[in-house]
Chains A and B, each alone.
Chain A
Amino acid sequence: MLGYAGRILRVDLTSGKIWTEPLKEELAKKYIGGIGLGMRLYLDNSQPCVDPFSPENPLVVATGPLSGTMVPTGGNGHAFVSKSPQSFGVGEAKSHGHWGTALKRAGYDAIIFSGKAEKPVYLWIDDDAVQLMDAKHLWGKSPQETEDAIRNELKDFYIRVASIGVAGEKLVRIACVINDKTRACGRTGLGAVMGSKNLKAIAVRGSKDIGVANKDKLLELIKVQHERMKGPAARKYRTLGTPENVLVLNALGAMPTNNFTQAIFADADKISGEYLNERFVAKIIGCSSCAMRCEHIAVVPEGPYKGTTTRVEYEPLWANGPNCGIGNIDAIIKALDLTNYYGVDGISIGGIVSFAMDLYENGIISKEDAGLDLKFGNHEAALEMIKRISLREGFGDTLAEGVKLAAEKIGQGAEKYAVHIKGVEMTGYDIRGLKTAALGYAVSFRGADHNRHGAYGPDVAGKVNRFKAEKGRGKLVKDTEDLYTIIDSLIVCKFSRGTYFEGYKDLAALFSEVTGIQMSADDLRMAGERINNLGRLINIREGLSRKDDTLPWKVMNVPIPDEGPSKGSFVSQEDLDLLLDDYYEVRGWTKEGIPTVEKLNEIGMEDLVYIVKDKLETPIEKPKRKTKTEE
């Protein structure tokens, strides 16, 4: 079992006890690593229906079998998994950079944190020497300051740090975990779970060798990937980067604007990838092992935000730009810098600010309530609001709960303006006119997200009629979901997905040559299906069901108003029901979206049948509950 370290690090923050457990080969084969292994470890080590911020909610970090190897983009990933304080179902987020490489080199496939530290601590992993360190002096610092401070006090520049910012400390529900200064496990609020445990950071120095099963064969595969990554399959990421989407989506009438009020943004050419690259992007950098490079580092050259230097991607650019009616690119870059500084999800923060602006414009909150003139397009107010949310100041305290919970608190019909799915704020695709994507978003186990399925692909490329809900979309979504969960479990980068010309076959070959465990394309596809069912099972255990596979009120009730290709499109309840029925059927789930016993047996999940047995008509005997990973 090369590639894997074969060990799981256990840290009980309440008692301070630290120990390791072996990683079973069966578990590795079935759930691969990353989000798959992370979710399984979460399930096996947690009780149902605990509060996400309680000490009883464990926090899991997992690397993948390729982490630490030279497999391009595969060498560096890690994933955080826990119960999300936003969706109250499974939360998972993945990041790249150099941190995951270090954790694998230190000799761990995963870390399971349980309990809660009495006072702020950080975990210092120096290969086999693992200890909890006092973090009182780091509390209140940004992730970037924390990283520098830890490297200074431990006197090694090559130490890699993943940490939370002030937002995580203050349990802002969209707080993220940042590593290598600009990379984030952004979505579903896991930085707040880390904060609830008084865990400020995880610092790692790894110096162990990473061996692979078949070096020569692996190098051949890597050479092929390198060549593909220099070609058209990765062109987008090497040139304009994801901000290329700005003009593409705007032309389709699919760029949500002013909190999903419109779907075309008038100032798109002032924030486009083309504009950014010419004037702002100073350098494109790469993560450990990457042969593509994608990380566009933008620098504001002049004006009040002069010198601001940060990573720019389409999603946070959209969220803090068009979705807030903001076309001032300097201010958007500043906003992205602030999200890294405070440690909040760059997508959700824009969703929350735009929600507040929408309430303000519609008279549900006043200037007195908001404390700011929250008109769409007021970038100064938006930047101030990002700060207030991150620090839970004034009205920011309410908004720090995320749009769903904030709307419940505000009342007066505010929920109609809360654009979220399962409590997680929407991302930058106007799915009113992208109906395959709409299904993908509705069923995503971590809430609103384009990264769980990539189902916008066939819509945007024109492979299907994107305005139509019809049978067959279920299979499209299922297939891409299964592939995406494998990408997130191995872990390779989503941006590299176009370079696996033969899909699972290429990915399985990389897995086999690294680990020495023979894995066929079909085995790997089934593992993808298994991991998707696992996400579903955790959500079912936490009480989520078909009713939660839904879409934001605006998406289902307000047709796209803009003159253009998408005018008039929205997703009706009838559309959604048709899509869900089709998807559940393809998945082998009941009408209520519950995986059947037959399906679970077919994909090797008989040990988890107990989760669905109450929900299905025929009762099944409950097997003995697993409580520890090694069992």
Chain B
Amino acid sequence: MTVPPKTDTSKWKIVTCDPDKCTGCTVCEYICSLTKDNAFSAQKSRIRTMRLHPLINISIACRLCNPAPCVTACPRDALKQSETTGEILVDDEKCDGCSWCIEACDYGAIVLHPEKKVVRICDLCQGDPACVKWCPEEALDFTTKDLMAQKARMAVTKKLFKESMEAAGIKP
């Protein structure tokens, strides 16, 4: 019995949000719906902003899980995941809006298009996401999970060694 080769997810990039920078302005929602649906609408945006408290703001888009629970959950095989980008592809012919995928997604990153009654998921804008380009605070980033970790390591190191870096005159 042969084991199928594991998908190489290391090159997949996702839209991430730095909650320290996010102001909850929802510009990402505006530009997403305009880019994809030619109108301003929060409901049609594939990235959604959540302000739980004035101090707690974040925008959330598809995390490109692998294996993807939404794909597994779809009873009509309407969803599949691109091997190259990790993007979840929706077959509008097969999707009937049953929303099993919405239920399966832990991040609330899937929306039901209010008129078309099919689901919509971040399609990464062909590798150049509009929300990332337009975010006024540069809170959004389009990055691999490895680079995300690198960024976090960089930030925590700077924080830990702030004084010694200043003493040594290191300007990162």
Q: Identify the A interface with B (CB < 8 A).
A: 68-70, 72, 75, 98, 105, 157-158, 181-182, 207-212, 215, 219, 226, 229-230, 282-293, 295, 297, 299, 309, 311
Q: Is the CB of A289 within 8 A of B27?
A: yes
Asked if A210 and B41 sit within 8 Å, CB to CB, the answer is yes
Contact (Cβ within 8 A) A284 B30: no
Q: How far is the CA of A299 from the CA of B56 in the complex (A)?
A: 13
Known: A75-B30, A290-B23. A297 touches B42 (CB 8 A): no
Question: Could you list 27 examples of A-B contacts with CB < 8 Å?
Answer: A69-B40, A70-B27, A70-B30, A72-B27, A75-B40, A207-B41, A207-B42, A209-B40, A210-B40, A211-B40, A230-B136, A283-B54, A283-B55, A285-B24, A285-B25, A285-B57, A286-B24, A286-B136, A286-B137, A287-B25, A288-B25, A290-B23, A290-B136, A291-B25, A291-B136, A293-B137, A297-B55
One of B23, B44, B51 near A293 (C-beta < 8 A): B23
CB B81 to nearest CB in A, in angstroms, measures: 28
CA distance A246 to B146 in the complex (A): 46
Complex Cα–Cα for A299 and B41 (A): 33
Cβ of B39 under 8 Å from chain A: yes
* A68-B40, A181-B54 as given contacts; A215 in contact with B23, CB under 8 Å: no
- B70-109 CB mask vs A (1 if < 8 Å, else 0) is 0000000000000000000000000000000000000000
Whether the pair A70, B23 counts as a contact (CB closer than 8 A) is: no
Set B27, B39, B55, B136: member contacting A209, Cβ < 8 A: B39
**Distance, CA A137 to CA B20, complexed state (A):** 37
Q: Report the Cα distance A282→B134, complex, angstroms.
A: 25
Q: Give every chain A residue within 8 A of B57 (Cβ-Cβ).
A: 283, 285
Indicate if the CB atoms of A288 and B134 lie closer than 8 Å: no
Across chains A and B, which 5 residue pairs bring their CB atoms closest together, nearest first?
A: A209-B39, A291-B136, A286-B23, A70-B30, A286-B25
Alpha-carbon distance A288/B40, docked complex (angstroms):
12
Closest CB-CB distance, B50 to chain A, in whole Å? 8
Return the CB mask of B9-35 against A: 1 if under 8 Å, else 0. Answer: 000000000000001111100110110
CA of A262 to CA of B37, assembled, Å: 58
Say yes or no: is B7 at the interface (Cβ < 8 Å to chain A): no
B157 within 8 A of A: no
Per the bound structure, the CA–CA distance linking A61 and B68 in Å amounts to 46
Q: Could you tell me the distance between the alpha carbons of A282 and B53 in the complex, rounded to whole angstroms?
A: 12
In this complex, what residue of B is CB-closest to A212? B40
Interchain CB contact under 8 A, A293 and B25: yes
Task: Select B54's contact among A70, A75, A229, A309, beta carbons within 8 Å.
Answer: A309
Measured in the bound complex, the distance between the Cα atoms of B135 and A72 in whole Å is 12
Q: Which residues of A contact B150 (CB under 8 A)?
A: none
Q: How far is the CA of A430 from the CA of B33 in the complex (A)?
A: 47
B137 (CB) vs chain A CBs: closest residue: A293
Given contact pairs A211-B38, A297-B54, a sample of 10 additional A-B residue pairs in the complex whose CB atoms are under 8 Å apart: A69-B30, A207-B114, A209-B44, A210-B41, A212-B40, A215-B34, A226-B136, A283-B54, A286-B137, A293-B136
| Interface check B143, CB cutoff 8 A | no
Q: In the complex the two chains form, what is the Cα distance from A299 to B42 in whole Å?
A: 30
**Bound: A157/B42 CA distance, A:** 13
B66 in contact (CB, < 8 A)? no
Q: How far is the CA of A75 from the CA of B29 in the complex (A)?
A: 12
A189, chain B: closest CB distance, angstroms: 26
Whether A309 pairs with B55 at a CB distance below 8 angstroms is yes
A69 to B44, CA, bound (A): 14
Residues of A within 8 A of B34 (CB): 70, 215, 219
| Residues of chain B lying within 8 A (CB to CB) of residue A98 | 26
**Most chain A CB within a 10 A radius of its CB, from B30, B40, B41:** B40
CB nearest neighbor in A for B57 = A285
Q: Which of B106-150 contact A (CB under 8 A)?
A: 114, 134, 136-137
Pick the contact of A289 from B26, B43, B55 — CB < 8 Å? B26
Check if B134 sits within 8 Å of A290, measured CB to CB: no
A123 CA / B67 CA spacing, docked (Å):
45
Asked if residues B54 and A215 are in contact (CB atoms below 8 Å), the reply is: no
Instruction: Decide if A295 touches B40 in the complex (CB within 8 Å).
Output: no
B114: which A residues are within 8 A, CB to CB?
A: 207
- Please determine whether B54 and A289 come into contact, CB atoms closer than 8 angstroms: no
**A291 CA / B24 CA spacing, docked (Å):** 11
Residues of A within 8 A of B41 (CB): 105, 207-210
| A215 & B136 in contact (Cβ 8 Å cutoff) | no
Q: How far is the CA of A158 from the CA of B51 in the complex (A)?
A: 9
With both beta carbons as reference points, the residue of chain A lying nearest to B49 in the complex is identified as: A288
What is the bound-complex CA distance between A75 and B26, given in angstroms?
10
Q: Which residue of chain A has its CB nearest to the CB of B24?
A: A285
A234 shortest CB reach to chain B, Å: 10
Complex contacts, B134 vs chain A, CB 8 Å: 226
State how many angstroms separate the Cβ of B45 from the closest Cβ of chain A: 11
**List of B residues within 8 angstroms of A72 by Cβ:** 27, 136
Residue of A nearest to B25 (CB): A286
A291 touches B42 (CB 8 A): no
Task: Determine the chain B residues whose CB is within 8 A of the CB of A207 once the complex forms.
Answer: 41-43, 114
A131 to chain B minimum Cβ distance, whole angstroms, is: 21
**Cα A212 to Cα B41 with chains together (Å):** 12
Pair B54/A284 contact, Cβ less than 8 Å:
no
Chain B residue with minimal CB distance to A284? B23
A299 to B33, CA, bound (A): 35
Task: Report how far A157 CA is from B50 CA in the complex, Å.
Answer: 9
The distance from the CB of B146 to the nearest CB of chain A, in whole angstroms, is 29
A132 to B143, CA, bound (A): 48
CA distance A11 to B23 in the complex (A): 35
**Which residue of B has the minimal Cβ distance to A75?**
B30
Q: What A residues does B136 contact at CB under 8 A?
A: 72, 226, 229-230, 286, 290-293
In Å, the complex CA distance between A98 and B48 comes to 14
Contact partners of A157 in chain B: CB under 8 A: 50
Please determine whether A291 and B27 come into contact, CB atoms closer than 8 angstroms: yes
Enumerate chain A residues within 8 angstroms of B37, measured Cβ to Cβ: 209
Given contacts A70-B34, A207-B114, A226-B134, contact A285 B23 (CB under 8 A): yes
Question: Once the chains are docked, how many angstroms separate the CA of A105 from the CA of B23?
Answer: 21
Provide the bound-state CA to CA distance between A299 and B40, in Å.
Answer: 34
Find out whether the CB atom of B25 lies under 8 angstroms from the CB atom of A282: no
Residues of chain B within 8 A of A75, CB atoms compared = 30, 40
Specify which of B43, B54, B114 lies most central, judged by the most chain A CB atoms within 10 Å of its CB: B54
Q: With A230-B136, A285-B57 in contact, do A210 and B39 touch (Cβ < 8 Å)?
A: yes
Task: Establish whether residues A211 and B39, one from each chain, have CB atoms under 8 Å apart when the complex forms.
Answer: yes
- The complex places the Cα of A232 from the Cα of B43 at a distance, in Å, of 34
Chain B residue nearest to A102 in the complex (CB): B42
Q: How far is the CA of A311 from the CA of B33 in the complex (A)?
A: 30
Q: Assess whether A288 is in contact with B39, with CB atoms less than 8 Å apart.
A: no
CB-CB under 8 A from A287, the residues of chain B are 25
Task: Report chain B residues within 8 Å CB of A284.
Answer: 23
Chain B residues positioned under 8 Å from A285 (CB to CB)? 23-25, 51, 54, 57
CA distance A13 to B33 in the complex (A): 36
The CA-CA distance from A538 to B56 in the complex, in Å, is 43
CA–CA, A68 and B34, complex, Å: 12
A182 is contacted by which of B25, B33, B54 (Cβ under 8 Å)? B54
